[in-house]
């Protein structure tokens, strides 16, 4: 079956976009899996002037860089404005996102269709989140940590330290 035929994909640079406030192990899992499928992956971190994140854009980028140190084909970059404009700017033609549950589907579907309308040449691909991370979100992590709940195993170690520092002033 297709033995000996080498198929070259036209998707060489993929973007994993998000707010990453902060990055969770669910995000890391999607980035790792994308990095195995595509030669180059750029984690695009949205700087939204209308939102007040817990972590600054610089901190979010630094925490992601630490979390993907083991992935040589992954880089991290902040962006503002439309995702498709950022994709064009860095020459990426694929957006990779994780889907946790049916509840994610509606908004993700809307975003994918809007992005397709704006830039038909850019494809969106969804990966199903691993079962163990299907309940995980950055908002949930912040709430757990704020009220003293354990977040161990749900976020990279550096994120755990940074979030405890924010809420308890300890490292």
* Active site annotation includes 50: no
* Active site annotation includes 138: yes
Please choose, from the candidates 124, 120, 121, the residue with its C-alpha nearest in 3D space to the C-alpha of residue 111: 124
Nearer to ligand PNS, 69 or 113 (CB): 113
Nearer to ligand PNS, 2 or 103 (CB): 103
Considering the candidates 65, 100, 116, 164, report the single residue annotated as catalytic: 100
Please choose, from the candidates 75, 68, 67, the residue with its C-alpha nearest in 3D space to the C-alpha of residue 155: 67
* Active site annotation includes 100: yes
Q: For binding to ligand PNS (CB under 6 A), which residues are involved?
A: 17-19, 46, 82-83, 111, 114-115
Nearer to ligand PNS, 48 or 72 (CB): 48
* Active site annotation includes 165: no
Please choose, from the candidates 116, 51, 115, 47, the residue with its C-alpha nearest in 3D space to the C-alpha of residue 77: 47
Considering the candidates 35, 60, 97, 138, report the single residue annotated as catalytic: 138
Is 71 in contact with 32 (CB distance < 8 Å)? yes
Q: How far is the CB of 95 from ligand PNS (least distance, A)?
A: 8
DSSP string for residues in 1-26 = --TTPPPPPS--EEEEEE--TT--HH
Catalytic residue ranges: 27, 51, 100, 138
């Amino acid at each position: 079956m297709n033995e000996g035929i080498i198929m070259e994909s036209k998707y060489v640079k993929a973007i994993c976009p998000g707010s990453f406030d902060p990055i969770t192990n669910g995000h890391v899992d999607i980035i790792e899996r994308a990095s195995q499928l595509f030669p180059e992956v750029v984690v695009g971190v949205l700087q939204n002037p209308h939102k007040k994140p817990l972590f600054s854009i610089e901190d979010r980028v630094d925490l992601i860089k630490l979390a993907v140190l083991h992935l040589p084909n992954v880089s991290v970059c902040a962006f503002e404005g439309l995702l498709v404009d950022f994709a064009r700017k860095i020459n990426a033609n694929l957006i990779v996102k994780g889907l946790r549950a049916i509840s994610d589907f509606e908004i993700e579907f809307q975003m994918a269709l809007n992005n397709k309308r704006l830039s038909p040449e850019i494809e969106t691909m969804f990966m199903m989140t691993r079962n163990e991370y299907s309940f995980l979100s950055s908002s949930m992590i912040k709430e757990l940590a704020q009220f003293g709940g354990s977040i161990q195993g749900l976020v990279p170690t550096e994120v755990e330290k940074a979030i405890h520092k924010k809420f308890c002033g300890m490292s």
